[in-house]
Amino acid sequence: MAEASLERAATEASTGAHSAPKPGGRLRWTICGLLFFATTINYIDRQMISVLKPTLTAEFGWSETTYADIVFWFQTAYALGYFVFGRLMDRLGARFGYSLAACIWGLAAMGTGLARSAVDFMFARAVLGLGESGNFPAGIKAVAEWFPKKERAFAIGIFNAGANVGAILTPIIAPFLVYHFGWQTAFYVSGALVLVWLATWLGIYRRPREHKRLTASELAYIESDPADTPGRTPWLALLRHRQTWAYAIGKFLTDPIWWMFLFWLPDFFAKQYGLDLMSFGPPLVAIYVLSDLGSIAGGWLSSRLIKRGWSVNAGRKTAMLTCALCVLPVCLAIGADSLWLAVAIIGLATAAHQGWSANLYTLPSDLFPRRAVGSIVGIGGTLGAVGGMCMAKFAGWILETTGSYMPMFILAGSTYLLALAIIHLLVPDMRQAALE
């Protein structure tokens, strides 16, 4: 298969291909679609616990601290898993690495339906976190394999939008399943979806040079960036580069804000506006529809600026600054006079976060050769999950002692500008790391 692709590329060169190839095909967008659906299912499994929090709290008598501990152990395993899967993706490749992660998280999601105590939930969610941590290292690795640099932010924005679609579908699916079949079935169904996706993934995904359906012109377009140098770089060597810390600190500071929205928004609406499982679906759907638009728009903005001649440095950071400014008003949601005004303010913030993430996720492939992308994503994701662990403990303590969401929303509004300032100080010109 690789020889066939090389032969097609040689034929194209002999017929007058030039240094700026045209795509000549759309198979790479099919791959992006697979990543989108995986991320959608990933977030259905992930958010199910937050949507069912009022139901499970009533049945098992959880305190705010108990729920925070369940989230904490998910985050702990997620941090460990990011560390492991980031490296595995560089060794196994996206096809087999993603398959392993999907098997773990699918079985863990179904296993949550068997939980009967807080400790059972903590264990099941920890295994889920371990498996789900492979989603973004695998997805970004696949994008680095299948897209040239100028399209990566847009491609990541599209597949990252699956997170919002998953968050939209969960409050729609969960009430129906709980009402008709019980809360256990909600976990069984969401976990089974992963196994359906996995069969499709194994049937379709290959590296570009191994794919029979890829045209020579699209292969040339995918490989239009300068070739990477061969070899592997040890983790400790990666930690010596400021480019690594620019990405990792950005993740550490801003990932916890998204976790806060994901795991605590249903509870916020329940306490602030008296909503329950059957009524907070529309507000959550509205927020994550806006998030979806933000994810695609944020990736589109930087890709558009770069295609118009802006440098990668200017394009990425302009998009990230725009997103950071849009999060600032989120603390006003606490004093909003109406539910839908609060939804609009929070929706703007979550949209901005997803636009920010589409560009932040692109930094590893901007700043490092493809052979190190999975490892860098793993390092950053680990620190992001550690930040999420801190947020879980902080949220549980704040709500247990004050009952107010205001400190959490103030933190959310101020974090992104700080993160961007640190990224700019560390990589003022977005120069690629010189790996040995």
User: Hey, where are the domains in the chain?
Assistant: 27-205+246-426
> What distance in Å separates the CA atoms of residue 73 and residue 208, rounded to the nearest whole number?
37
CA 348 – CA 344 distance, rounded (Å): 6
- Which amino acid is it at 380? G
Residue 216 to residue 214: CA distance in whole angstroms = 7
- DSSP assigned state of 195: H
Cα 416–chain centre separation: 17
pLDDT at 301: 92
Show pLDDT as tens, one digit a residue, over the chain (436 residues): 333 333 333 333 333 334 456 666 788 899 999 999 999 999 999 889 988 988 899 899 998 899 999 999 998 999 888 778 877 877 888 888 899 999 999 999 999 999 999 999 999 999 999 999 899 888 888 988 888 888 887 888 788 788 878 888 998 899 899 989 999 999 999 999 999 999 999 999 988 888 888 888 888 888 887 766 666 667 778 888 999 999 999 999 999 999 899 888 888 998 888 887 778 788 988 998 898 889 889 988 998 998 888 998 999 999 999 999 999 999 999 988 899 999 999 999 999 999 999 899 889 888 988 778 778 887 888 899 889 889 988 988 999 888 889 999 999 999 999 999 999 999 999 888 887 6
pLDDT of res. 5: 36
Task: Please name which of 212, 240, 19, 198 lies closest in space to residue 103, comparing C-alpha atoms.
Answer: 198
pLDDT at 9: 35
User: Tokens at residue 215, please?
Assistant: 């045209």
* Answer CATH for 27-205+246-426 from 1.20.1250.20, 3.40.50.970, 3.40.920.10, 3.40.50.620: 1.20.1250.20
Of residues 44, 281, 34, the one with CA closest to residue 166: 44
What are 83's two structure tokens?
Answer: 């560390």
Which pair of tokens denotes residue 244? 């690594």
| 8 A C-beta contact, residue 436 and residue 233 | yes
Can you say how many angstroms the Cα of residue 180 is from the centroid of all Cα atoms in its chain? 31
